Amino acid sequence: DQQVKQNSPSLSVQEGRISILNCDYTNSMFDYFLWYKKYPAEGPTFLISISSIKDKNEDGRFTVFLNKSAKHLSLHIVPSQPGDSAVYFCACILGGTSYGKLTFGQGTILTVHP
Amino acid sequence: DGGITQSPKYLFRKEGQNVTLSCEQNLNHDAMYWYRQDPGQGLRLIYYSQIVNDFQKGDIAEGYSVSREKKESFPLTVTSAQKNPTAFYLCASTPTRGAEAFFGQGTRLTVV
Residue to substitute from A101, A104, A106, interface B, most B β-carbons within 10 A: A101
Q: Say which residue, B1 or A24, is predicted with more confidence.
A: A24
Predicted pLDDT of residue A107: 94
Window 82-101 of A, Cβ < 8 Å to B: 89, 91, 93, 98-101
Phi and psi for A82 in degrees, rounded to 5?
-55, -35
At a CB cut-off of 8 Å and minimum separation 6, what does B76 contact? B20, B21, B23, B34, B46, B47, B64, B65, B66, B89, B91
pLDDT digits (tens, 9 = 90+) for B39-70: 878 899 999 998 899 999 999 999 999 999 99
- Asked if B31 and B48 count as a contact pair (C-beta separation under 8 A), the reply is yes
d(C-alpha A93, C-alpha A88), whole Å: 17
Number of Cβ atoms within 10 Å of the Cβ of A3: 16
The mean pLDDT of A43-55, rounded to a whole number, is 94
The CA distance from B77 to A25, in Å, is 31
Dist CA A103 CA B33 (whole Å): 12
| pLDDT in the model for residue B18 | 94
For residue A41, what pLDDT is reported? 83
Residue A101 to residue B103, Cβ atoms within 8 A? no
Task: For residue A102, give the chain B residue with the closest CA.
Answer: B45
Q: Could you report the per-residue pLDDT of A73-107, keeping only the tens digit for each?
A: 999 999 999 999 999 999 998 876 666 678 999 99
